[in-house]
């Protein structure tokens, strides 16, 4: 669940470099929720740098929750939705350390669908170590090849899960579909929400969408500063730091503002929803303020 605070740090200066290892045709985008990941801790179940292909009955699992909840890049082939075999490469945002500072590490997953002896199978690889930290440059650790895949009956939402793992990829929520979320009416996005909890989930997704929009605008500004031939290296650094500091100051204000809104609800159940919606409203204002400069 979104907690109002979205730290905006130096990761804006560079985009993640992916060492994919697989042929890809396109880069898509989706709101990705990795609710949980589970992996076996027993070293005797390892072969080289990979898990055994088949899950063993005496596996002892470690589990990590809330691994990713963000707008993510999805590298894949153009026709993957109708293909017999596919690979989706999911790249998450850079993670924060114990002090809530953004690191250079990020999770990414390789999701595979393939046909083996007439049987469709789904496998997952990720780039974490035995402690669940995303320390590797390749998604070399195979979590298993016996997962279950499902697609929403009417929407472009896909889920792969099983054995303590669950990932949902919501292609309905992306800047490719809504390039200007600040100008979009969102009534349709809440049409299946029947409770405050459902409303919070939908709004949290949209908060991440607006955050991606803000990030893209500021990345464009930093790019313009860097590519301006009249700027000296020292001036580029000064301007870039000013852009980042301004955004961090805005985030501190927005976080405090929505915390005040939450408090105003007292012990009411609407506190989380009210504060999250307030944060999104502030994001819309922030994007509109950025557009004359950064668009």
The fraction of the chain above a pLDDT of 70, given in percent, is 86
What is the tally of structural domains in the chain?
A: 2
Domain assignment of residue 158, yes or no: yes
Helix (H, G, I), strand (E, B) or coil at 156: coil
- Element spanning 165, H or E: strand 165-170
CA proximity to 69, closest of 206, 184, 189: 206
At 67-115, the pLDDT tens digits run: 999 999 999 999 999 999 999 999 999 887 666 667 788 999 999 999 9
Alpha-carbon gap, residue 68 to 91, rounded angstroms: 10
- 160's tokens: 């792969």
- Contact of 174 with 27, CB cutoff 8 Å: no
User: Is position 188 within any domain?
Assistant: no
143 and 264 assigned to the same domain: no
Residues 6+ apart with CB under 8 A from 244: 8, 9, 10, 12, 218
Per residue in 208-245, pLDDT tens? 999 999 999 999 999 999 999 898 999 999 999 999 99
Asked whether residue 119 is assigned to any structural domain, the reply reads yes
Question: Within a domain: residue 3?
Answer: no
> From residue 37, how far is each of 66, 162, 167 by CA, in Å?
9, 9, 9
Among residues 63, 75, 3, the alpha carbon closest in space to that of 32 is found at 75
Residues 33 and 159 in one domain: yes
Q: Is 202 in the same domain as 281? A: yes
Is the domain of 22 the same as that of 150?
Answer: yes
Tell me if 5 is assigned to some domain. Answer: no
Predicted confidence (pLDDT) per residue in 147-190, tens digit? 999 999 999 999 999 999 999 999 999 999 999 999 999 999 99
Our measurement of the distance from residue 37's CA atom to the centroid of its chain's CA atoms, rounded to an integer in Å, reads 15
Residues in the chain: 295
Q: Which domain holds residue 233?
A: 193-294
Q: With respect to residue 44, please indicate whether it lies within any of the assigned structural domains.
A: yes
| 15 and 161 assigned to the same domain | yes
pLDDT at position 178 is 97
- Per DSSP bridges, beta strands 141-144 and 119-126 are antiparallel
Residues 150 and 235 in one domain: no
Q: Alpha-carbon distance 40 to 233, whole Å?
A: 49
The rounded distance, in Å, linking the Cα atoms of 163 and 175 is: 32
Asked if the structure places residue 184 within a domain, the reply is no
Model pLDDT, residue 205:
97
Same domain, 155 and 288: no
Residue the block writes with tokens 């303020």: 289
């Amino acid at each position: 669940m979104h907690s109002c605070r979205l730290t905006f740090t130096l990761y804006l200066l560079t985009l993640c470099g992916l060492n994919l290892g697989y042929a890809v045709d396109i880069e898509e985008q989706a709101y990705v929720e990795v609710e949980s990941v589970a992996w076996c801790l027993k070293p005797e179940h390892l072969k080289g740098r990979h898990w055994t292909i088949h899950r063993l009955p005496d596996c002892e699992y470690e589990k990590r929750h809330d691994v990713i909840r963000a707008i993510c890049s999805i590298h894949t082939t153009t026709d993957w939705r109708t293909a017999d075999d596919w690979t989706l490469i999911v790249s998450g945002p850079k993670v924060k350390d114990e002090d809530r500072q953004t690191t250079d590490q990020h999770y990414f997953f390789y999701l595979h669908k393939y046909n083996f002896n007439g049987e469709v199978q789904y496998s997952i690889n990720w780039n974490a170590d035995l402690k669940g930290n995303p320390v590797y440059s390749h998604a070399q650790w195979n979590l298993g090849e016996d997962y279950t895949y499902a697609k929403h009956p009417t929407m472009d939402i896909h889920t792969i899960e099983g054995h303590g793992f669950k990932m949902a990829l919501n292609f309905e929520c992306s800047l490719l579909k809504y390039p200007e979320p600040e100008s979009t009416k969102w009534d349709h996005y809440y049409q299946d929400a029947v409770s405050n909890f459902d409303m919070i989930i939908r709004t949290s997704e949209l908060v991440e969408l607006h955050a991606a929009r803000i990030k893209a605008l500021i990345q464009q500004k930093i790019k313009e500063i860097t590519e301006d031939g009249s700027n000296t290296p020292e001036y580029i650094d000064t301007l870039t730091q000013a852009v980042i500091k301004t955004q961090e100051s805005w985030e501190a204000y927005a976080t405090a503002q929505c915390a005040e809104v939450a408090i105003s609800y007292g012990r009411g159940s609407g506190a989380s929803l009210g504060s999250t919606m307030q944060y999104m409203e502030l994001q819309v204002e922030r994007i509109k303020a950025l557009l004359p400069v950064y668009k």
